[in-house]
Every structure is written in structure tokens, then in C-alpha cells.
A and B are shown apart, each in its own frame.
Chain A
């Protein structure tokens, strides 16, 4: 009896917390289907009287968010590809080879993860300017790659360590070189780790805002987040919250889906990369 009461209490608390935490996100979706006049009335309607899906087509095709989403995708996938490609061999070397200074190197890699990048925005701007990479995707992708590499290396290193050496050695008996065996044997076995690393990288790049706001000037290059920001108080669009939140919802759906479907993956990756250290 007391146990049932207790678990009832826990369920009540968890439900209250779930509602409170999820509400702002649900609110975004509700706002995104409200017609303009309903957006500016008080008290606000919790459930829209009329559903206006036109906000979505307006956001996509009139406000040009389609272009922003494509740009975000280019940045996120570009970073993901580069970061995973580079972290894969590095993690392999750190997991399977012994060499002088390895511990210090691993600590240094961990340390770059502990010094987050936002304070670096000013010196990075200077570096990109010198390399003529301001206002380019290449510049942003390189910065994102540098930021996501430490965690990706740590995640993948954990996976490589769990692959027995014999598996890799046995493939070398038939004369295949070390590098080839790395890709033939280790790659398929490390796929879950690569999945977790890829997901982290995609998420981090997709949700970033200040960096592209600072480093990109041309509107046709803006990822969806920066594009969205430019609509706040836009003279033509006004701050039409309906269209704005439709656009925000469109930009949120990819990460929401990734998270909902691959939740366990994510927690696993977080544990491997962040907590174990």
C-alpha cells in the first residue's frame, strides 16, 4: 500500500515535470499553426480555434527557410563527414598503439574539450580572416570539426578498445597492410561508435547560432537559425510569430526525430565520452 502510494507520488511528480518541461516545445508547435490574429490576443488560446498550416508553406517558400535548412544540412553533414573521417584513424591509433607521450596527448585532447569554444570566437575570426575563410562554409566546418573531434576521438577510442586485437591481427596474416585491415575489420565493428559520434556532431552543428551569425555575411549562406533570427522584427515579414514558429518547428523536427529514435545511443555515447574520463 505505502509502496503503491509512493510510486503514485513519483508518477505524479514525473508527469508534472514532463508537462512543465515539454510545454514550451508543444507551445512552439501550437503557435506555428495559429492564424495571425489569434497570435496577438490576450488571453491566448491554448488550443487554436483555427488551424493555419499556411504558416509552414509561407515559412518554407516565401520566407526562404528551405534555403536555410539546406545550408544547415550542408554545414552539419560536412562537419560530420570530416570529423568522423579524421577522428576514426586518430582514435584507432590511440586505442591500439603504444607510444611515448600517449597519456599526455590524451589529456591534452580532453583538455581542449574542457575549454569550450565561445571565448574563441574573436581569435577565430582573426584566424579565418587571415586564411580568407570568413564568410565560407569551409571555415565554419573546420571550426566545428575541431570542436567535435575530442569527444568523437574519445567515443571511438572506447569502441576500438573493445575490439580484440586478434581480430585485426588475423586479417593481417593474409598479407593485408595495417591501414587496409583498419578499414576492413575495425570499421564495421566500430559502427555503433561512429553512429554515436556522428549524431553528436550533427546535433552540435545543427543547433549552433552565434558562430554562423558572426562568421557569415551573405544571406543566401545563412543556416536556418541565423535566417530565423533575421526575421525577428524584419521590416517586410514583421515579427510574424506564426511563420517564425513554423520555421522554428521545421528546423527542430530533424533533431527531435534523431533524439527520439536514437535516445539510447546518445546516452551511451555521452557516458563513453564525457563521464568515464
Chain B
């Protein structure tokens, strides 16, 4: 794009005016996109490359010096029990979060899309509320609600005849999953509901004539019609869950005994608590590889053509 600018300027000195304006016209879209692409290139794309580069160096936080160590960090990581543990915890955390988040979103979307329901706006607003909260505020609310001594969840538990629990110790992983699902289900709800709105009403009317039950309509019409959006939704929330750890950071900081130490948490601690930027970058690189693999699955499942149509 810089090239065409230079050519345009050079042409200005020699050739005719019409050729100049033609060159200019050609470079206009690139000039329009240049600032946005530059910012994205430097702060969205380059970090992926930089993570890999850094992973090959021994580099401490706040220290400008770096030494090349090759793939040392990688072999170090796979011999590290904490890292292996983080992988296992991440799989459970992500699988649990995604499955529940999708299910809750689906049920809420189905309820909102039910025929003849009034007050949709009110209910949708109530369902959306968690999404307006900062990750930190979500964590603080759950931290207080799960409190062993004063928490309201233990109060509800005693009402139901159960003993008070030390939730963030004995049930740490389920507790952080619940908090995360509570926060994230809105996103699934919004996506799935808009997909359901796109289903032609005639399909349901025809099914009704055939004497189809509500459940039958849901299974035979709604679910097949939203399968692509569902898949897209699951992939998006999978990526999102892998790449976020704020709730865990505040609620458990990875503990107790590493039971909630997801990969993002492990990465953050390595880089910013133990000041090992090189090791942190190595974990980042591995997370990026997983992200890219999931993205490829996405492209494979949807087909590149679906993407191009959107483009």
C-alpha cells in the first residue's frame, strides 16, 4: 500500500493527470484500511509471533537482557508436574464451562422464543444482567456469596437441611465453573436466541398441523435449524474460556493445592509473579497453538465457503 502511494507521487512528476488519479483511486481503499490494519498487526497479530520468539529466550520481567535458550522452556514445561496438572484442570474447567454455558443459554433462549410469550424484553433484561458486570465484580459477588461463615449460599444450604460447606476449598473447581457459567451464559443466550428468531414460522405451523408436540418441534425443527450457530457458539465460548482466568484469579488464585490452577492462571503466575517472561511466553505460545487448532476445526466444520459468504 505504501508502494502505490510512492508510485502515485512519482507518476505525478512525469505522466498525465488521468493516470495519476487512476493510481490514486486504486490506493484509496488501502489508505483507508492502513491505520486499522497497522494497529491490529502490531497489537493483535504480532503478539502471536512475539510469544514464540520470547519462548526461545531466557528473559526476566523488567529486565531488558535476554539469552537464547532454544526449546529449553518447552522440555522444561512438559517435565513440570504443575504444568501437567494445569492442563488437566483446564480441560475440566473448559469442558464443564462450555457444556453448562451452552445448555443454560439454550434453555433460556428456547423459553424466550416460545410462542405467545409476553414481556420478553423484561425477561431478556433479567437474563442479560450478569453480562454487564466486570469480571472482577462477578468474582467479588461470588466470593462473598460462597463465604464459609457469612455467605448466603451456606444459608440456602442450611435451609435445605444441608451442612454449611467450605465451597472454595472443598468444591473449588465446581464453584469457579458455576460463577463462570453464571457470567457467560448470556452470550450463548443472545446468539442462540437470534438464531431461533431466524427460523421460518411456517415450519412450526406445518408441524402443528401434523400434531407435533412442543418437545417434538424443539427436537425436530429448532435444534437442526440452529446447529451451525450452536457450533459457532461452542467454539467461541471454548476459546473465550481457555483465554480467561479473571474469576479464578480472584476466587481461588489457582488453589487450593492447584485444584483450580488453569493454564491461564499458571501462565500469569509464571510471568508476572515469578517474573519468568520467557516461560510465560512459552505457555502463551502453547495456548495460541490450541487456539489456532480450535479455529481450524471451526473452519473445517463450517467450510471456508460459509466464511467467504459472510465476507
Taking Cβ atoms with an 8 Å cutoff, the residues of A that contact B are 3, 6-7, 10-11, 13-14, 17-18, 21-22, 24-25, 27-28, 31, 39-44, 46, 86-87, 89-90, 92-94, 97, 99, 102-103, 105-107, 109-112, 114-127, 129, 142-143, 145-147, 149-150, 153, 178-179, 203, 206-210, 214, 225-226, 228-229, 232, 241, 244-245, 248, 251-252, 255-256, 258-260, 263, 266-267, 270-271, 274-277
> Chain B residues with Cβ under 8 A from A120's Cβ?
44, 47-48, 51, 284, 288
Residue of A with least CB distance to B183 = A24
B34-69 residues with Cβ-Cβ distance < 8 A to A are: 35-37, 39-40, 42-48, 50-51, 54, 59, 61-62, 64
Taking Cβ atoms with an 8 Å cutoff, the residues of B that contact A are 25-26, 28-30, 32-33, 35-37, 39-40, 42-48, 50-51, 54, 59, 61-62, 64, 107-108, 111-112, 114, 116-117, 121, 123-137, 140-145, 149-152, 154-155, 158, 182, 185, 190-191, 193-195, 214, 229, 232, 236, 239-240, 242-246, 249-250, 264, 267-268, 271-272, 277, 280-281, 283-284, 287-288, 291-292, 295, 298, 304, 307-308, 310-311
18 contacting pairs across A/B (C-beta < 8 A): A13-B111, A17-B111, A24-B130, A42-B149, A43-B158, A86-B36, A117-B47, A119-B284, A123-B48, A209-B246, A210-B135, A210-B245, A244-B140, A248-B141, A252-B134, A255-B133, A255-B134, A270-B194
Contact between chains at A119 and B243 (CB < 8 Å): yes
Contact between chains at A24 and B142 (CB < 8 Å): yes
7 tightest CB-CB pairs across the interface, nearest first?
A146-B43, A118-B243, A93-B29, A18-B126, A97-B29, A119-B287, A106-B311
Contact between chains at B133 and A111 (CB < 8 Å): no
Query: When chains A and B are docked, how far (Å) is the Cα of A105 from the Cα of B45?
Result: 13
- Would you give the shortest CB distance from B150 to chain A, in whole angstroms? 5
Contact between chains at B229 and A275 (CB < 8 Å): yes
Query: When chains A and B are docked, how far (Å) is the Cα of A64 from the Cα of B3?
Result: 52
Contact between chains at A43 and B155 (CB < 8 Å): yes
> Chain B residues with Cβ under 8 A from A94's Cβ?
29, 33
Residue of B with least CB distance to A143 = B43
Query: When chains A and B are docked, how far (Å) is the Cα of A90 from the Cα of B117?
Result: 41
Contacts A263-B128, A267-B190; A207 near B43 (Cβ below 8 A): no
For chains A and B in complex, what number of residue pairs have CB atoms within 8 angstroms? 290
Query: When chains A and B are docked, how far (Å) is the Cα of A207 from the Cα of B135?
Result: 6
> Chain B residues with Cβ under 8 A from A112's Cβ?
40, 44-45
Contact between chains at B194 and A275 (CB < 8 Å): yes
Among B137, B287, B292, B304, the residue within 8 A (CB) of A228 is: B137
- Would you give the shortest CB distance from B240 to chain A, in whole angstroms? 6
- Would you give the shortest CB distance from B278 to chain A, in whole angstroms? 9
Contact between chains at B277 and A27 (CB < 8 Å): no
Query: When chains A and B are docked, how far (Å) is the Cα of A17 from the Cα of B287?
Result: 35
Most buried by B among A106, A121, A248, A276: A121
- Would you give the shortest CB distance from B7 to chain A, in whole angstroms? 15
> Chain A residues with Cβ under 8 A from B236's Cβ?
114, 274
Query: When chains A and B are docked, how far (Å) is the Cα of A111 from the Cα of B151?
Result: 42
> Chain A residues with Cβ under 8 A from B271's Cβ?
121-122, 125
Contact between chains at A39 and B150 (CB < 8 Å): yes
Query: When chains A and B are docked, how far (Å) is the Cα of A270 from the Cα of B232?
Result: 13
Contact between chains at A256 and B194 (CB < 8 Å): no
Contacts A118-B244, A127-B46; A103 near B308 (Cβ below 8 A): yes
